[in-house]
Structure 1
Amino acid sequence: MDPNIYALVLDTLNRATSQDTEILKPAEKKLEEWEIEPGFYSVLLNVLSNHSVDVNVRWLAVMCFKNGVDRYWRRNAPHAITDEEKMKLRNGLLTSSILSEPVAQIATQEAVLIAKIARFDCPTNWPNLVPDLIGALKAPQPLVQHRSLLIFHHVVKALASKRLIGDRRTFQELTNSVYGFILNLWHENTEIFLRHIQEGAATELITEHLEKALLCLRVLRKLTVFGFRRAHESQDAIAFLNVVFDRAKTSLECRKLLKGRGIYPLELCEKFIIHLTKVALGVLCFHPFSYVPLIRPSLEFALYYCFTEQGMSLIYERFTIQCLNIVKGILQCLEFKLPKGMDQPKEPLTLQAHQVKCEVLTESTVCHMCRHLVTRYFLLSSDDLALWDAEPESFATDEAGESWKYSLRPCTEAVFMELFHEYRSLLAPELVRLLVSLQETPVSPDDLPNILKKDAIYNAVGLAAFDLYDDVDFDEWFTNVLSRELKIKDNNYRIIRRRVCQLIGQWCGVRASQSLRPAMYEALLEPLTRPDEDPAVKLAAAEALRSTIDDFNFKVEQFAPYAHHALAALYELLVESEECDTKMHVLHVISYVMERCGALVSRGGGASALFAYLPQLWQHAASHHMLRAAALAAVVHLVKAVGECAESIRGWVLCVVGEATRAGEPAHVYLLEDALELWLAVLEAARAPDPALLDLAANLYPILEQSTEHLRIVVYIMQAYALLCPEEFFSCEGAKCMALLDDMLSDMRTEGVITVLKMAEICISVTYPERNPFLGVEVIWPILKRVIHCLLEGDDLPMVFSVQLCLLSRVILLSSELFYKAIQDAAKNLPEYESDPVKVLNKLLHVWTEKMNFVTQVERWKVVGLGLAALLTTQNATVLQRFPAILLNLTEVLNDVMKLEDGGTYVDGLVAPPGSRPASPLEGRGAAARWGAAEGAEGGEGAGAAAARSTPHEARRRRLAAAHPAHALDLRAVTHHQLQTLKNQVGAETFERLLQSSDKDTLQQLREYIPL
């Protein structure tokens, strides 16, 4: 290796560790440039292998190497590392300098580095990796043993993460070859460190063997869980699993000794114990039948340490969580439950597991567990109360997701619910007895221990609400007890007030009569509107209010008297809250109230106050993108509820939308989705276009260009612009967007294609005939030619075919000359038709008339029929050659749309009677209602339309719907007029010949509607 290159790289690495940015930045840039240079990683390997080099420099070298593996180790990666250099690197990574690395942090990063390469290359391109590591594990030097074991742990971890069948088979082969050796090594080091602890040996000796035992245990966990198809078929795995809980018991005793001495290995010992429980949880999750022999020892183990005074004196919180998760896993495991309606399960181990559970979890044991969970684990601790006093907002934040895996309170609650669900008939009376006992002896506000006990029991009743449906009369309980407890203002009683709010939220959807709803709203508004109420109680009331609204039995009329009070109180809570997470939580509740209550929100001053506060909140949340997203969502719901965007903040809203939808802005990734919804809401509420709103349209093209992820909402925005200001929009940004959509069509799925085609229909529909009637067609001209090509192929799905044909018919109804021009332009790129427009038109009409029955939606069916009728008088010989087929299809359409009135006359059933209000095809709530008037009446009136607030956008849609050909044109009158005009054009004799060329049944049916 060239010494000059080595020195240059070493010097650059050294400068890249500098604290001076003027030295640091150029060095970092140079290292980035060298990433793709051949031989660079070989130099890095030499640097990190040289123990005389500064630790910080070697640390940076290994990190650069690791990042390079991520980016350039794959063969198909741009600037991939060559196979020759890879071979040198693999050989150099297991040298004595690496295996005897003195710095622990660097050794760990080297192990991760080797594991990353192993995931790509082992065993195919690196067959000697595992044998070399096993050989190094037998070396006499303790440091080499430790580093080899560290590397082996990370390699096994990386290989275990591969999920393809071939990779799993390879990992199973690896497991079979090394399992026995690693198991013996674990036994050996575990025995030594346990003995050293009991004998009071030096900390260094204990630490050395404890670290090795922990690494072996981590390896064994991966091998046991992922290295066997059935773990119980391996004698070594059985031998390992059988000693897991015994080792845990011994280790807990040793932990007690270490804790008494207060020495360093205590933390390592705790990790060792936790990993023993992780082995059990892993096997339980991935090999439930292999776990059957462990059900009894694991349940007895958990019952002793989590539910007895003697056991609880030896444990610590993380261990308690693991034990309770094992209990939860056993209770939850489907393989351990007898199938309903079957006396004998198909799998014998299922019956065995069920029997063991019944033997261990006796009635008395289950009742004891339930009582212990409620009266011990559910009690708020002094730490909880201290946190409540110091940071009430943090205390009130609900832990969500899978927090039960890592946090004690969610864990105990999850175990309680699982236990209660499985043993409902046994535990329901037990919990009711506890609840009744509370009512017999009133609790004084000064009696904190009994207040905490009551809170714990209330918590249990709330968690088990669904299982206590028949056992608790919530109406009576709320009326006589809970509503009164909410009025007790003592500071200690804040604990009960908070819990009562939560109970209302939990029980409202389980068993609360409809007549009780107003009383519940009043009860929740009382703490929300009380100025001196505790923040945690207010937040619980806000969440409970959301639950009462988010209920199947919720009725807006019942909530109406409280709507503006609720919004005002929530606004005050939002302003009072200090933490961003709390503000975000309150904003979600506000958004929900506005979404469910609609126009009620506009009454009172709550809405205007919230409008005024939002810009201030936006500034406050400058570095909290999730809070800003919640603020945007609140503005969306507020604009929709009020029906307009307040002029006082309109400029701010448009500025925010512009920033959040501009691709180059940092917040773009976090805020784009909510900003697009807000953009659409503002457009729908706008009564007239303004320059700021039109300028915003420039952001649409980059969003579409970036990806199709937001295609649907972007098209909704384009439709809203098209209805608001068609000429201004399509003269500039709209035309650019439609051209881009045309380019994207070939790579779109069916749903995306239909979306774009419906947008094209909107383009044709909205331009003003008196000014520029053909602007819309000009905008979609490339799409129109593409549609003709697709129709000629005839391979599209019926839904796509239907929209394509309808689009073409809309063009014909607008201008047959434009239609024929489109045929001519399309023919130029169709050499298979000799670029002859006549042949293209002939084929198109053939496909049209043969497959027209693919159009199943009646409005489109009629529009396509109108398009055919319009072609009859264009004096085109090719069209007249298809006269019989055209007449047949027109007759079939007439059969579908004509209806017989009481007087015996036929009328077009889709034409709105004079003076009536046409049904908007876009009524209804949700995204599906936004497709635009081009859909005809596909959607009909949605269930929520009556409750939806009328907007200027809705009025525009109705006007467009009234002009839709399916509702504005009488098909019978149009067909009659076209046939009469054709007769005048070709003469009576030729017209009669055309009629005679048609089928007699067709003519007979047609004469029922039209005199021929």
Structure 2
Amino acid sequence: MALSVSDLPTIYTLLANSLSGDINVRKPAEDALAQFESRPGFCSCLMEVITAKDLVSQTDVRLMASVYFKNSVNRYWRNRRDSTGMSNEEKVHLRQKLLLHLREENYQIALTLAVVISKVARIDYPREWSDLFSVLAQQLQSADILTSHRIFMILFRTLKELSTKRLTSDQRTFAEIASQFFDYSWHLWQNDMQNMLHGFSVLAQNASELHHDDIYLTCERWLLCSKITRQLIVSGFQSDAKSIQEVQPVKKVCPVMLKAIQSFLPYYSSFQEKHSKFWDFLKKACTKLMKILIAIQQRHPYSFGDQSVLWPVVDFCLNKITDPEPDVLSFEEFLIQFAGVLASLLPSERVVLLCNILIRRYFVLTASDVEEWYQNPESFHHEQDSVLWSERLRPCAEALYIVLFENHSQLLGPVVVSILQEAMNACPSSVSEISSQLLLKDAAYGAAAYVYYELSNYLSFKDWFNGALSIELTNDHPNMRIIHRKVALILGQWVSEIKDDTRRPVYCALIKLLQEKDLCVRVQVLNTISSLIARITEVTPYANKLVQFFQKAWQESSGESLLQIQLLTALKNFVVALGYQSPMCYNMLLPILQSLWEATLSHAPSMVPQLLGYFPCLVEILEKSFDHLKVAASIIEGYIVLGGLEFLNMHAATLAKVLDLVIGNVNDRGLRSVLPLVDVLVQVVDSRVMLCVFLVKCPISSIQKLIIICLSGGDDHDPSKTAVKTSSAAILARILVMNTNYLAQLTSEPSLLAHLQKAGFPNEENILLCLVDVWLDKVAREEFPGDQFN
């Protein structure tokens, strides 16, 4: 029976109760709402709650209604075989209602409704909702600042959603939107830009009469319009690299956006102390505009190459990197974007200039870097070597340098060698005072290490090691840790150049470095040892001595978690190098098996009792946290393949407990890690007898959960959910073929029927037939169903 206006009080009460902290009140309300979800009129009732004027102050209830509304639209807007969906009359009513309620004051509710409109537009535009953009554009003509902000939010979300559709007809539709809407959107962007600059000018004078909220809403609206402009140019026009046709909006937009950045920067320092909210906006705006320029350059390189676009952008970026103002120098996110622009756009003379600037300015450790290293070596190592290049300035400079060198190795090879010689001459190995000369030598060593694969054509490693690097290690002054760390880095990077006549002294140097007290030096040494093991073609003759070394190093690194992490990496390479002979090191490996589990199983030639005995520990780990679920799934898969029937006879119940613990309690990403091992399990257990051994011990709820996953909706536009449903269907299909009676019995269980009803599955449908329907719909489209997880 359809819900109507008379049901509104009930719906409101249930929504309010679903927010209760008392589980005895909340749980029944959630269950009742779940039952209402599939009934016609439910979304209309929710919309009435969201838009009711007398409930404006009830923000929490309205927000909850908007969340249920969004979820229901995802599940029921598109008609499916396994659900009745919404009637066309209700859809028409909801589309009209959504466009009448544009001035939503609460940001979270407005954002949720914008997402709803975008999801509906993905399905209905242009056939069922052809007037969507014309209505929104018309509303903008007379909208106040809040309403216009909300409309831009809707436009951005909708265009973003439509741009992801990949059918040719859909891309043609988006191109039509871009051609019709671009000029209008760009005009609004320019108007807002003028208003913002006027507001900033007044704000900088501390004018008390300025309406801060209005100007900030204008800023947010302008930022949304910037994103819309990017979407229209990037997705609304075929790449000029393919079409060989100039994209005119590129020449119109890019110079103006560059000028906008230049207009914002003068306010950067003045807003930092007095107007933090607008200072944050300026950082966000400048970074976003640079990202838009990069995106346009990547999509339309030929149009971006016009002299009115390319050279002003390159000059601006290069000037900000080579001669930055103090304020800009502290604006790391901004500088990082410059690196993205410059990586492939510079002429030769500027490449040389930039290379010098990167090494001499951005590679050099600052006084604060050195202080942090001394005070907290682990934090320093993480900041310098473990973060993504796009998150910190020095790693970003190093990434830009490597790209430059790859593209201009013949030009930059002599330049880097020249800087290296200059630095070594200015700071001999006997000098241990932390000076600008020593820090430049550290930077030059790093520059030489990062591009070893090309620099070896210009520099003899043997001469460099004997004449300088080995001598550096004879100076044991504590300050020399700076240089010793880079020497260890060089030895690891230049491993391919370590020949027979230098191998022994290099190994001795590494052992000496490993005795140092500084954590960062020892971590770098272990990285180098790991690289050496990975490159050695025959490690077996040295296996016993390496076992002794690793055992001692592990014991001595007790309490040093960072060192032990690097040791585990080296040990993994050691196990890989031993291959089928890896059992010879089990006496050393087994005490630390929990960390090396995955690598050990992957390279063991056969199952041994010690390995079987460790499996229950995995359950204890997963009961505490799913943080390492992907690795755990790989370990379990190794046990299944390696142990076969022996493993199942001993641990079938434990394995079933693990699967029941994980399936249904992790998100789609977690399921994508676990379902492939279930598929492997069913394939390995390729006889009915062995399958029965496992299924008898497996809780019915684990298989039930796979059935519920297959028969629940909401995956049409979510690749992750589609992948999960596809894999689940493939697993159930295998079970159906191998043990039809078991699956037939399971699908008739009352508990399964109850769970499916809660998920909105119709009572009258035959479960087995629906499973086959899903299998034909999803799996048959995949050539290899498990490949989406690789």
TM-score normalised by L of structure 1: 0.60
Between the aligned partners of 1:710 and 1:399, the Cα distance in structure 2 is: 37
Counterpart for residue 21 of structure 2 = 19
Summarize the Cα distance change of 1:59–1:442 in structure 2 as closer, same or farther, 3 Å threshold.
same
Counterpart for residue 66 of structure 2 = 62
The answer to whether the aligner puts 1:695 opposite 2:676 as a matched pair is no
In 2, are the aligned partners of 1:521 and 1:559 still within 8 Å (CA)? Answer: no
Between the aligned partners of 2:4 and 2:640, the Cα distance in structure 1 is: 61
The answer to whether the aligner puts 1:226 opposite 2:235 as a matched pair is yes
Aligned pairs for 1:463-612 within 5 A: 463-486=450-473, 488-509=475-496, 511-528=497-514, 530=515, 533-551=517-535, 554-556=537-539, 559-560=542-543, 562-572=545-555, 575-578=558-561, 586-597=567-578, 607-612=586-591
In 2, are the aligned partners of 1:527 and 1:537 still within 8 Å (CA)? Answer: yes
Between the aligned partners of 1:93 and 1:199, the Cα distance in structure 2 is: 37
Q: CA deviation at 1:93?
A: 0.7
What SS does structure 2 have at the residue aligned with 1:94? helix
Instruction: Say which is worse superposed, 694-703 or 157-166, in terms of deviation.
Output: 694-703
Q: CA deviation at 1:176?
A: 1.0
CA deviation digits over 1:163-219, x for unaligned, max 9? 221111111101111111111111111011112212335333532322222121111
Aligned pairs for 1:173-572 within 5 A: 173-200=176-203, 202=210, 203-229=212-238, 233=246, 235-259=248-272, 261-293=274-306, 294-310=309-325, 313=328, 316-328=331-343, 330-331=344-345, 357=346, 361-363=347-349, 365-382=350-367, 384-385=369-370, 388-389=373-374, 392-397=377-382, 403-440=388-425, 441-442=427-428, 444-447=431-434, 449-486=436-473, 488-509=475-496, 511-528=497-514, 530=515, 533-551=517-535, 554-556=537-539, 559-560=542-543, 562-572=545-555
Aligned residues: 667
In 2, are the aligned partners of 1:564 and 1:601 still within 8 Å (CA)? Answer: no
Between the aligned partners of 1:375 and 1:82, the Cα distance in structure 2 is: 68
Summarize the Cα distance change of 1:660–1:533 in structure 2 as closer, same or farther, 3 Å threshold.
closer
Summarize the Cα distance change of 1:146–1:534 in structure 2 as closer, same or farther, 3 Å threshold.
same
In 2, are the aligned partners of 1:133 and 1:148 still within 8 Å (CA)? Answer: yes
What SS does structure 2 have at the residue aligned with 1:550? helix
Between the aligned partners of 1:175 and 1:733, the Cα distance in structure 2 is: 59
In 1, are the aligned partners of 2:572 and 2:596 still within 8 Å (CA)? Answer: no
RMSD: 3.9
Summarize the Cα distance change of 1:677–1:448 in structure 2 as closer, same or farther, 3 Å threshold.
farther
Counterpart for residue 764 of structure 1 = none
Q: CA deviation at 1:714?
A: 5.0
Between the aligned partners of 2:92 and 2:517, the Cα distance in structure 1 is: 69
Runs of 5+ in structure 1 lacking a partner? Answer: 332-356, 619-629, 684-688, 720-729, 740-779, 783-1012
In 1, are the aligned partners of 2:287 and 2:334 still within 8 Å (CA)? Answer: yes
What SS does structure 2 have at the residue aligned with 1:74? coil
Q: CA deviation at 1:25?
A: 2.8
Q: CA deviation at 1:488?
A: 4.3
The answer to whether the aligner puts 1:92 opposite 2:75 as a matched pair is no
Summarize the Cα distance change of 1:425–1:257 in structure 2 as closer, same or farther, 3 Å threshold.
same
Between the aligned partners of 1:491 and 1:716, the Cα distance in structure 2 is: 59
In 2, are the aligned partners of 1:518 and 1:558 still within 8 Å (CA)? Answer: no
Q: Name the aligned partner's letter for residue 219 of structure 2.
A: L
Q: CA deviation at 1:291?
A: 1.1
Between the aligned partners of 2:689 and 2:629, the Cα distance in structure 1 is: 24
Between the aligned partners of 1:526 and 1:593, the Cα distance in structure 2 is: 21
Q: Name the aligned partner's letter for residue 259 of structure 1.
A: Q
In 1, are the aligned partners of 2:685 and 2:691 still within 8 Å (CA)? Answer: yes
In 2, are the aligned partners of 1:206 and 1:265 still within 8 Å (CA)? Answer: no
Q: Name the aligned partner's letter for residue 508 of structure 1.
A: V
In 1, are the aligned partners of 2:583 and 2:604 still within 8 Å (CA)? Answer: no
In 2, are the aligned partners of 1:318 and 1:406 still within 8 Å (CA)? Answer: yes
What SS does structure 2 have at the residue aligned with 1:576? coil
CA deviation digits over 1:546-566, x for unaligned, max 9? 211222x53326745741243
In 2, are the aligned partners of 1:299 and 1:327 still within 8 Å (CA)? Answer: yes
Summarize the Cα distance change of 1:391–1:156 in structure 2 as closer, same or farther, 3 Å threshold.
farther
Runs of 5+ in structure 2 lacking a partner? Answer: 664-673, 697-737, 741-790
Of residues 40, 43, 49, the one that matches 2:42 is 40
Q: Name the aligned partner's letter for residue 511 of structure 2.
A: L
Between the aligned partners of 1:144 and 1:388, the Cα distance in structure 2 is: 51
Q: CA deviation at 1:406?
A: 4.2
Q: Name the aligned partner's letter for residue 674 of structure 1.
A: I
Aligned pairs for 1:522-921 within 5 A: 522-528=508-514, 530=515, 533-551=517-535, 554-556=537-539, 559-560=542-543, 562-572=545-555, 575-578=558-561, 586-597=567-578, 607-614=586-593, 618=594, 631-636=596-601, 645=608, 649-650=610-611, 652-656=613-617, 671-678=632-639, 680-681=641-642, 694-696=649-651, 709-710=676-677, 732-733=689-690
Q: Name the aligned partner's letter for residue 318 of structure 2.
A: L
Between the aligned partners of 1:309 and 1:631, the Cα distance in structure 2 is: 47
CA deviation digits over 1:101-130, x for unaligned, max 9? 112232222222221222222222211211
In 2, are the aligned partners of 1:567 and 1:607 still within 8 Å (CA)? Answer: no
Summarize the Cα distance change of 1:693–1:140 in structure 2 as closer, same or farther, 3 Å threshold.
closer
Counterpart for residue 111 of structure 1 = 114
Between the aligned partners of 2:195 and 2:659, the Cα distance in structure 1 is: 65
Between the aligned partners of 1:781 and 1:3, the Cα distance in structure 2 is: 50
Summarize the Cα distance change of 1:715–1:477 in structure 2 as closer, same or farther, 3 Å threshold.
farther
In 2, are the aligned partners of 1:560 and 1:600 still within 8 Å (CA)? Answer: no
CA deviation digits over 1:313-363, x for unaligned, max 9? 4771111111110112x34xxxxxxxxxxxxxxxxxxxxxxxxx5xxx342
Of residues 82, 85, 88, the one that matches 1:83 is 88
**Once the two structures are aligned, what percentage of the paired residues are identical?**
26
Instruction: Say which is worse superposed, 706-715 or 308-317, in terms of deviation.
Output: 706-715
In 1, are the aligned partners of 2:223 and 2:285 still within 8 Å (CA)? Answer: yes
What SS does structure 1 have at the residue aligned with 2:364? coil
In 1, are the aligned partners of 2:199 and 2:215 still within 8 Å (CA)? Answer: yes
Q: CA deviation at 1:567?
A: 1.7
In 2, are the aligned partners of 1:253 and 1:314 still within 8 Å (CA)? Answer: no
Q: Name the aligned partner's letter for residue 217 of structure 1.
A: S
